[in-house]
A = this chain, B = another copy of it.
Amino acid sequence: MSTWKITQLAESAGLTDVPCFECAGVHCDIRGKANDQLDLGILYSFYPLSIAGVFTQNKIKAAPVLLCQELLAGDQAIHGVVVNSGNANACTGELGMQNAREMIEQSQKAVNGSGVFLVCSTGRIGRQLPMDHISSGIQHAANSLDSDARSGLDFANCILTSDTRNKKITVQISIGQQKVTIAGVAKGAGMIRPDMATMLAFITTDLNISSSELQGLLSKANERSFNAITIDGDMSTNDTVLAFANGVSGVDYALSEDGFKQAFAEALQQVCEHLAYLIVGDGEKITKVVTLEISGAKTEQDARKVGYAIAHSPLVKSSWAGSDPNWGRLVAAAGYSGAEFEEAQMNLQYNDTPVYSGGQFHEEYLQQWKEIVSQKEFTIQLDLGAGDASAKLITSDLTPEYITFNMSE
């Protein structure tokens, strides 16, 4: 079994770091504001793509989410995706579906391609898309498609909403002359002013892999990355992760040895985790990134329940914002999570420093707790002492500025 090496590029240009993917990101004034913010992009591959997708679990799904799901279930050859920011095309009824279909058709026509496009939108909920702007944007983007770094960056930028910076990563898996590249870009979480849809992520690779194999790997990577972060607990109507494989590396997944398969899964996981981490770090008006390691749970579901109860407690999150090592609120949140455990068996630590165990808190460490929760990043370890299951979540604090930011349009 050969050892494949995973390397993260020092500088990523986003999706065009993978050979034979073309990108564009343009401004077509979807927000109707006098600025030149990029707001529409196209990712295109001349070669037909293997595709995997993970979508919001929200019952209310935006029109583009419904269309993507429909297309992924079908058998048409897919060659790319068209994306806009500034308008989520969610809660827009039949007209919204029609407009999303229109975006696909116009993109297909604009690139003179035979294949079908997927479509994603992010932005305000409940407004119809300004289709005249969208149409000219699609035309402009199609004409601008290129495989250079600039185009990759434009695409990474055109999907942003309240994000303060773009989010991208590129890794390469290599052995000798053989090389497979995975690149990813994302836009941020923290349901966003005023009704922004949350998270979009796009991943490209030149591996030759079937859609169903790619789907399996993406679903798994998603569980421990995008599904393990939370800013405010709000789940959007538009959350979408799409992975595209064009096969041009010549490396065939199905024919590969286990060593490569494992390396690819790891690299994909790394891409997803890194993007997820960047999303939390750029959450709306946050000041702390907190990793929750819940262990000793009866089931993984219990571990996640405890993690989410802590991560969604306004009281816990407020105390983090104030650098207050408020373990009482944290223990209380675990207590109402619905998970099965006994108070006396709990073992709570901040960055490996004892906080609470055996039904007693260890106040002699108070000064250390305070130093730890004053840092920009820290880890909270909670062993429930009830079993062997565990879960890891990454979350943030909740600041007065978050509320002010979200109080109005």
Query: Using a CB–CB distance below 8 Å, which chain A residues touch chain B?
Result: 56-61, 90-94, 124-126, 191, 194-195, 232-237, 312-315, 318-319, 321-324, 326-329, 331-337, 339-344, 356, 358-361, 398-409
Bound state CA distance, A124 and B141, in angstroms?
59
A92 proximity list for chain B (CB < 8 A): 359
Q: Once the chains bind, are B59 and A237 in contact (CB under 8 Å)?
A: no
Asked, given contacts A91-B328, A333-B234, whether A312 binds B312 with beta carbons under 8 Å apart, the answer is yes
Asked, given contacts A234-B332, A335-B58, A403-B403, whether A319 binds B125 with beta carbons under 8 Å apart, the answer is no
Q: List 14 A-B contacts (CB under 8 A).
A: A59-B335, A59-B343, A91-B356, A91-B359, A93-B344, A124-B328, A125-B328, A195-B326, A232-B313, A233-B312, A318-B402, A322-B408, A324-B407, A403-B403
Asked, given contacts A329-B191, A335-B60, A399-B403, whether A314 binds B126 with beta carbons under 8 Å apart, the answer is no
Nearest CB in chain B: distance from A332 CB, A: 5
Question: A235: which of B60, B90, B332 is its contact (CB, 8 Å)?
Answer: B332
Nearest CB in chain B: distance from A314 CB, A: 4
A337 to B, closest residue via Cβ: B59
Q: Once the chains bind, are A313 and B233 in contact (CB under 8 Å)?
A: yes
Bound state CA distance, A206 and B332, in angstroms?
36
A408 proximity list for chain B (CB < 8 A): 319, 322-324
New A-B pairs, 6, CB < 8 Å, besides A59-B339, A124-B328, A318-B402: A125-B332, A191-B332, A314-B402, A319-B407, A324-B409, A398-B403
A401 proximity list for chain B (CB < 8 A): 400
A399 to B, closest residue via Cβ: B403
Q: Once the chains bind, are B195 and A234 in contact (CB under 8 Å)?
A: no
A56 proximity list for chain B (CB < 8 A): 336
Nearest CB in chain B: distance from A60 CB, A: 3
Question: A234: which of B61, B125, B237, B315 is its contact (CB, 8 Å)?
Answer: B315
Bound state CA distance, A323 and B406, in angstroms?
11
